[in-house]
A and B are shown apart, each in its own frame.
Chain A
Amino acid sequence: MGNHSDGSPNHSGTVATAGQNEVEKFQDPGLPPHRLRLADTDPVAAKRAERQVAILFGTSVIGTLVFLVAYFAIDLGDDTTIATIRTQNLLLGLGTAFAMLGIGTGIVHWAKALMPDHEVSEERHAIRTEEDRQAAVRIVDDIVEETGIKRRPLIRNTLLGAVALAPLPALAIFGDLGPRPDKALAHTMWAPDGDKLKRLTRDPDGTPIKASDVTIGSAFHVIPEGLNELHEGKLNEKAKAVVLLMRLDPNSLNPSEGRENWSYNGIVAYSKICTHVGCPVALYEQQTHHLLCPCHQSTFDLTQECKVIFGPASRPLPQLPIAVDAEGYLVATSDFREPVGPSYWERDEHERLINS
C-alpha cells in the first residue's frame, strides 16, 4: 500500500503539541454548498408536505377526542373489572399519545420540509473581555474601599463571627425530628413478661403453635404472642421480632455449648431479620437446610446454627431459645441473647448488656 506514514509518532511528520499547530494542516474549506430540498423547488412537493403536516395535526385532534370520550364514558366503582381499568388506561394513554405525537411530529415535519434549512454561521463573543475585567476590578475596589472594611478589622472580625454562628439555630431546631437512639435495639418483644413466657404464634393471624404442628420440612413464619393486639408501634416491634420456625432431624443440629436447650426435639427458631442490612431471610430450602435472603443472597446453614456460607452477611442469624409449655404450645424461654438484625456501632456493647 505504499510507504506513506501511518501517523505513528515515530514516522509521522504531523506532531502537534496542545495549542501549537506548527505543521501545515488541511485548511477549512468553509461551509459546504447548500442543497435544496424537494419542497424548495417543487411546489407540488411543498403542497404535499403541507398536507402531511395538516394530517398530523388532525391526528392530534382525534387523539384528544379519544381521551375525552374514554374518560367520561367509563366510570370506576366497586363493580369495575380489572379489564375495564386496563381498557380505560389504554384509551386514555393512546389518546394522549396521539394527541402529543400528532402535534410534535407535525411541527417537526413542518420545520424539516418547509421552513428554510440554510445552515447559518454566527460568531462567538468572548465570554469576558479584558476591558470588562478591568472595569469590574475597579468597581470592586471602589465598593470595598467605600465599605471601609479593610481599615476596620474590628468590624470585619465581629461580622465574620456573627455570620458564622447565625445559621446554627436553623440546624439545631430540627433536633426533635428524632429521639436519641436508646437501648431499644437491644430488646425485642420476645422478652418474658415477668414469669410469663411469650408463645410463638402464626404470622399474620396470631394463633399459637403447638410443637406437634411443626413436622420435619415445615417452615412457620412466627410473631410473638400479643403483637397483633398492640395499638402503637406494632410494625416497629414486628421489625425486630419476626422469627422462622423449622424442624430438622435432631441429629443434624450440632448445637454449640450453651445452646443445647434452645431447640425442642429438632424444632429450632431463628430471627428472620438478615444480619446484613435487614431484609426478611425468608427462603427456606428444605433439603439443603439453607436459609436464603432474597435481597442480596446471604445464605445461612441451619445445621451450623445459621452460620453464613455465602453472600455479604457476616454474622449468623440470632437464635431464639424455645421450649414447650404445659399445653404443648411453643414458647420463647427468653429474649434473643444478642441484638437482632443489621450490625451497628453499639452492637457489641448491647450484646454484653443483654448477657450481663
Chain B
Amino acid sequence: MGLLLTGGLYAVATTVNQAKADTTSYSASDVEEGGKLFAANCATCHGMGASGTNDGPSLVGVGAAAVDFQVGTGRMPMQMSGPQAQKKPAQFNEEQTKQLAAYVASLGAGPAIPEEKLLDGKGDAANGGELFRVNCAMCHNAAAAGGALTRGKFAPGLAGVTEAHIYEAMATGPQNMPVFNDSNITPEDKRDIITFLKTIEANGSPGGAELGSLGPVSEGLFVWVAGLGVIIAFTIWLTSRTS
C-alpha cells in the first residue's frame, strides 16, 4: 500500500508542470522543420533526438517553453563554455524558434508557451511584489537589477526582458535558476509577478537617476567620486587667487 502510494505520488510529481494551458498548436511541418534545425544546430551537444551527450543535457520533457526562452534570448546555441550560457542576440528568427520549440515539445510533454492573457501585465502588482521579494529578489535583487551567484555565475537583470520569457524562465528554471512549477507559483501569481516587474520598469524611480539600483555601494561610490569631487573643485576655486 505504501509502495503504491509513493509510486503514484511520484508519477504525479513529474506531471505537475504539464501544459495545463497547452494552447499552442504546432503543425507537423513545424515539427519536421524544427527537427532539421535541431540536427544542424543543437544535436552536437544535445545529441540526436535530444537524448543528451556529455556536452549537453537531454531535452526530452523540457517543453516548448524552455526552447522559446533559451533560443529566444539567444542563450542557445551556446557560444563558448563558461560558468553559464550568456544572453546574446538571438540566432534564429521567430518562425525558426517556433519550429525548434515544436520539435522539442514533440519529444516529451513539458511546460508550454504561456497564453497571452497571462502576459497582459494587468495582474496584481502588489501581490507580485511580495512573491518577487520572497522567491526572486535574493538572486535578481529587489529592484530586479541582477546579482551574483558562485563561481562566475550570475542572475541577470530583468529590465527589457519580455513577459513571455520571464514566464518561461520561471516555469522551466534555466540553468541554475530553480524551477517554479505551477504548484509553487500559480499561473495567476506568475502573471502578478510579471505585472509587478513591468510596473516598476515603467515607473522608474521618483527620486531621479537610479545609479543602477544597486544600493549603498553605488551610492557610496557616487558620493566619493561625484559629490566630493564637485565639492573639492569648489574649494580649489574658492581658495585660488583671482586674476
Contact = CB atoms under 8 A, between A and B. Distances in A.
Given A89-B208, A285-B153, A37 B242 contact: yes
Contacts, number: 110
A32 to B, nearest CB: 12
A193 to B, nearest CB: 25
Interface in A320-349: 328
Nearest to A223: B134
Interface in A190-216: 202-204, 209-216
A85 B134 contact: no
Interface stretch (A15-23, A57-65, A288-296): A288-296
A89 B205 CA distance: 11
Nearest to B207: A89
B96 interface: no
A219 B6 CA distance: 21
Nearest to B174: A286
Given A112-B242, A214-B13, A286-B173, A83 B149 contact: no
A117 B149 contact: no
A151 B93 CA distance: 103
Interface string B163-185: 00000000001011111110110
A215 B179 contact: yes
A77 to B, nearest CB: 14
A310 B149 CA distance: 12
A67 interface: no
A38 interface: yes
A235 B6 CA distance: 36
Interface in B124-153: 130-131, 134-135, 138-139, 147, 149-150, 153
A280 interface: yes
Interface residues of B, number: 40
Contacts of B150: 285, 288, 290, 292, 297, 299, 310
Given A37-B243, A212-B12, A290-B150, A218 B184 contact: yes
Contacts of A297: 150
A218 B181 contact: yes
Contact of B138 (A35, A85, A117, A283): A283
A164 interface: no
B4 interface: no
Contacts of A282: 138
Contacts of B139: 283
Contacts of A135: none
A287 B176 contact: yes
A70 interface: no
A214 B10 CA distance: 10
B204 A82 contact: yes
B206 A286 contact: no
A211 B226 CA distance: 54
B176 A117 contact: no
The 6 closest A-B pairs by CB, nearest first: A213-B183, A219-B178, A282-B138, A217-B179, A85-B206, A82-B203
Given A83-B203, A219-B178, 9 more contacts: A37-B241, A93-B208, A112-B238, A212-B12, A213-B13, A246-B178, A282-B138, A283-B149, A292-B150
Interface of B: 6, 9-10, 12-14, 16-17, 130-131, 134-135, 138-139, 147, 149-150, 153, 173, 175-181, 183-184, 203-208, 237-238, 240-243
30 contacts: A35-B241, A37-B241, A37-B242, A38-B243, A39-B242, A82-B203, A82-B204, A83-B203, A83-B204, A86-B206, A89-B207, A93-B208, A117-B241, A204-B134, A211-B9, A213-B13, A214-B13, A215-B14, A217-B178, A217-B179, A219-B179, A219-B184, A280-B138, A283-B149, A286-B178, A290-B150, A294-B138, A294-B147, A310-B150, A328-B9
